[in-house]
Amino acid sequence: MPKPLKRLRHLPLLAALLTPATWAAELKLELSGGSRSWSSEQLLAHPQAQNIEIAADVAYKRSMSYRAVPLAALLDGVQPGDHLQAVALDGFAAELPAAPLLASQGARAWLAVEDPAQPWPALSQHKPSAGPFYLVWQNPEVAQIGPEQWPFQVSTFRLLAPVAQRFPALLPAADASAEVQAGFALFQKHCLACHRLNGAGDSQFGPDLNIPHSPTVYFAGDFLRQYIRDPQSLRRWPQGRMPGFSEGVLSDKELGELIGYLGYMAGRETSH
């Protein structure tokens, strides 16, 4: 049986190729001092790494335990007034003010690190885990941290100029109402991680919300409000990835402000 024996001789090599070390990932940090990469092995052995409990995990929707590093320990030179972006493997791009990320009391940001030897569970059937790196929070309610500020499968953190400076096409005019201005702030927090608007934004995840048409145009009556609260109640399909925004995350007043901003921007559509 020469052929089977020949195949068996390759098994040790195959096993070596599939060891956990092969799965180790790298996190890239693009900060003011330059670019730095951390491997999962380095982060798991970081002097500030510890085991933490997350009571209400956004990705897994239950209590979870992680080996994690305080994110502030990795943000050399970052100041509270700075702005960062967390980019995920699937194109999700979370816009994050630096101050909450640097805080050591109240809401606290941690970088959870997946151990290749002890992988996290899958997010759902036929999907990967939240690893290799996942931004999680303890006491998120203290700083009103929303679900879009829990990016998982993170690959890069970047120090960038604020959204308003990078993407003027998103800005309401200076004389826009206070409601529209508040809606713009909510759009940055809850929508820009997945969507662009007028072609502006860094996300590669969801559709543009103004080109070719604003959802305020093609959702009549209260259907847009219902869609934001519970997307699957209007469009039910297995691959749907948009989460619903509960009143605990986005109050009725805030939802009205967000829709007001989208309606305002529908009249400021740009060709792209």
DSSP string, 74-131: G-TT--TT-EEEEEETTS-EEEEEHHHHH-SSSSEEEEEE-BTTBPPPPSSTT---S-
Mean pLDDT across 110-120:
96
pLDDT band for position 239 (50/70/90)? Answer: low
Mean pLDDT across 227-247:
74
Assess whether pLDDT exceeds 90 at residue 100: yes
Asked if residues 30 and 157 have their Cβ atoms less than 8 Å apart, the reply is yes
Same domain, yes or no, for 232 and 196? yes
* 19 assigned to some structural domain: no
> For position 68, what pLDDT does the model report?
98
Mean pLDDT across 197-209:
82
Cβ contacts of residue 60 below 8 Å, gap of 6+? 121, 123, 130
Share the mean pLDDT of the chain.
86
CATH number at residue 189: 2.60.40.420
Indicate the pTM of the whole model: 0.77
* 3 assigned to some structural domain: no
Assess whether pLDDT exceeds 90 at residue 7: no
CATH number at residue 49: 3.90.420.10
Of 160, 188, 210, the position where a domain reaches its end is 160
- Domain coverage including residue 199: 164-266
Same domain, yes or no, for 180 and 208? yes
* 228 assigned to some structural domain: yes
| Maximum mean pLDDT: which of 67-76, 138-147, 247-256 | 67-76
Assess whether pLDDT exceeds 60 at residue 272: no
Q: What is the tens place of the pLDDT at every residue in 45-77?
A: 999 999 999 999 999 999 999 999 999 999 999
Same domain, yes or no, for 46 and 121? yes
Same domain, yes or no, for 47 and 67? yes
- What is the Cα–Cα distance from 179 to 36, expressed in whole angstroms? 41
> For position 13, what pLDDT does the model report?
43
> For position 241, what pLDDT does the model report?
66
> For position 23, what pLDDT does the model report?
59
